[in-house]
Every structure is written in C-alpha cells, then in structure tokens.
C-alpha cells in the first residue's frame, strides 16, 4: 500500500513540475512587446506639442495593435525631455534634431541613441514689417533662438539666401555668429531668446525678422509655408528623431514605435496634416 501511495505522489509531483514548465514557456521572457499574459507594454514618450504629440496621438491605435500602450508626455521646452529621459521618467523622447541631440550628449554626458529619424521641420524667417529678405534694411535686427545647436542651421540658411557669408573652413552645422566673414547688410543678431518665445516676439512686432522653428510656429497658429518670408529647404539635415537611452533602441516596443512612425500611413498623415510644413524623411 505504501508503495502504491509513493508511486501516486511521485506521479503527481512529475505532472506538477511539467505543468510549471509549460506555463513558463507559454509566458515567455517578457522580451515581446505584449509582455506576459498578453498584456500591453507601456511606453512613455516625451514630445513637443506640435507636431510631435499630434503625430504620436495618430500612432496610438496602430501601436496598440502591436501590443504597445503609448503614453504621451508633452513639453514646452528643449531641456526637460532629455533630463526626464535620463532619469527614467520617459522611455523615449521625440522633439529634437540630430545636431541638438549630439550637443546635449556632449554637454551633459547623456548616454542616448538615435533610434530613428522621422521628419523635418523647416526653419522659417518671419517678419511683420517686410515681405521678403531683399527688403530687410541695412542694420536690420534678426531675433533667433538661444539654442546654440540651431545657430549653424540659421546661419547656413541665411548664407544660402545671400545675406551673409560664412568662413569656408567651418562645419556649417556647427557655425557660430563669430564665423560670419561677410555681412553686407550689417545685420544685427540677437541670439538670446527661448525658442518657444519667438512666435510671441514675432506677433508683438519685435525685431525686423524672427527665425522660428516650424514646431513652435505651427503651435502658435502660423503656417510656415504661407506666413514665412523664407523657409529652409526640405533637404535639411536637421531630422527630428526618436531618442532613447543606449541599449533601449533594441527593445521591441521602441522598434514598434519607429516602425509605425515611418509607415506609409503615418507619413501620409504628416504630409496631409501640414501640407509640407512638416516633411517626412522616409
């Protein structure tokens, strides 16, 4: 009788262990976007209001189909999204260009990676006083962002428009005001303003011309193609990217995010929504 009971107990134990093994195999390791038990993987992404957050809202249902629950945190500045990414409050952010990302990593030691380029927001020149750059008078005041990574972008654009000449030996992406070697109109540059404040300065008729990033222009109700007196060409190297902590670019959730953002459906949405003021890079 004891031998029969022992055999029964052994059989039950073997079956129990087998069941546990099957359960572990079914649940997986958690590397899939859907996580354990088919639950959605939460992904928190920081973004500027426009167009980034708007694009991400369009992405939400498509990501859910891939097992990712997207949570969007909006920001009005260019500093906090990277701080929050480093601290772990965000899983990724979507607001910055490659030169800005590189400058932030150099300045603050962030260990970030560009997980993928999504779109370009052309820089525009706006003026309440003049209808073209040719009309700018001698000594005109040009207001621009205090973001140093934008300075090369602005100066290269103004050089292409024939307003200034930069030192040929300088990498134009990294050009600074001190690299201007010819300024025939004696333009006066004021690079002291927060980027988000520039549309307000424009609306208040301050300065003779204001350089405004398209995301802030659009957020302020401006149409970069119609309201600017000059606009950056669409082949600009200033691509807006998904930035993540190093190593996270290989996660299933981040890969799904970039895949959906660069899909035909979302790229077509970008073109339709902003009529060329925001340009997909695919």
- Condensed to tens digits (0 to 9), the pLDDT of residues 63-97 reads 999 999 999 999 999 999 999 999 999 999 999 99
**Is the four-CA dihedral 72, 73, 78, 83 of positive or negative sign?**
negative
Instruction: Name the most confidently modeled range: 4-8, 41-45, 216-220.
Output: 41-45
Q: How far apart are CA 198 and CA 224, in angstroms?
A: 14
Task: Please count the CA atoms within 13 angstroms of the CA of 276 that sit on its side-chain side.
Answer: 9
**What Å distances lie between residue 76 and 88, 196, 278, CA to CA?**
19, 7, 18
Question: Could you identify the residue written with the tokens 């959605």?
Answer: 40
Where does the pLDDT of residue 116 fall: very low under 50, low under 70, confident under 90, or very high at 90 and above?
A: very high
Query: From CA 59, how far away is CA 254, in angstroms rounded?
Result: 13
CB 51 within 8 A of CB 220: no
Check whether 163 has a pLDDT greater than 70.
Answer: yes
Rounded Cα–Cα distance for residues 83 and 116 (Å): 20
Q: What is the pTM of this model?
A: 0.76
DSSP state, residue 51: I
Average pLDDT over residues 223-251: 92
Average pLDDT over the chain, rounded to an integer: 88
Q: Are 172 and 152 in contact (CB under 8 A)?
A: yes
Q: Encoding tokens for residue 60?
A: 């939400």
236 falls in which pLDDT band (50, 70, 90)? confident
For 171, other C-beta atoms within 10 Å of its C-beta total 9
Q: What is the largest CA-CA distance in the chain?
A: 109
CA distances for 45 relative to 40, 42, 82, 103, angstroms: 15, 10, 11, 21
Whether 237 and 98 have beta carbons less than 8 Å apart is answered as yes
Question: What is the spatial distance between Cα 66 and Cα 107, in angstroms, rounded to a whole number?
Answer: 36
């Amino acid at each position: 009788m004891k031998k029969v009971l022992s055999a029964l107990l052994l059989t039950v134990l073997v079956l129990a262990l087998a069941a546990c093994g099957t359960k572990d195999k079914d649940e997986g390791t958690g590397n899939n976007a859907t996580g354990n038990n088919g639950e959605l993987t939460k992904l928190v992404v920081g973004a500027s209001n426009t167009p980034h957050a708007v694009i991400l809202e369009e992405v939400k249902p498509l990501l859910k189909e891939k097992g990712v629950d997207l949570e969007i945190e909006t920001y009005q500045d260019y500093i906090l999204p990277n701080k929050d990414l480093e601290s772990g409050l965000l899983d990724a952010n979507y607001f910055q260009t490659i030169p800005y990302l590189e400058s932030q990593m150099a300045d603050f030691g962030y260990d970030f990676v560009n997980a993928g380029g999504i779109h370009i927001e052309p820089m525009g020149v706006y003026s309440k006083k003049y209808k073209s750059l040719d009309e700018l008078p001698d000594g005109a005041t040009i207001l621009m962002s205090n973001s140093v990574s934008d300075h090369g972008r602005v100066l290269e654009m103004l050089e292409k428009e024939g307003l200034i000449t930069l030192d040929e030996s300088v990498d134009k992406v990294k050009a600074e005001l001190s690299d201007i070697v010819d300024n025939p109109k004696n333009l006066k540059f004021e690079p002291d303003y927060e980027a988000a404040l520039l549309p307000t300065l424009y609306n208040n008729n301050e300065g003779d011309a204001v350089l405004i990033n398209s995301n802030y222009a659009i957020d302020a109700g401006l149409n970069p193609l119609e309201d600017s007196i000059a606009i950056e060409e669409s082949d600009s190297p200033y691509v807006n990217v998904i930035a993540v902590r190093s190593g996270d670019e290989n996660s299933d959730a981040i890969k799904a995010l970039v895949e959906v953002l660069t899909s035909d459906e979302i790229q077509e949405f970008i073109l339709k929504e902003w009529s060329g003021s925001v340009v997909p890079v695919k």
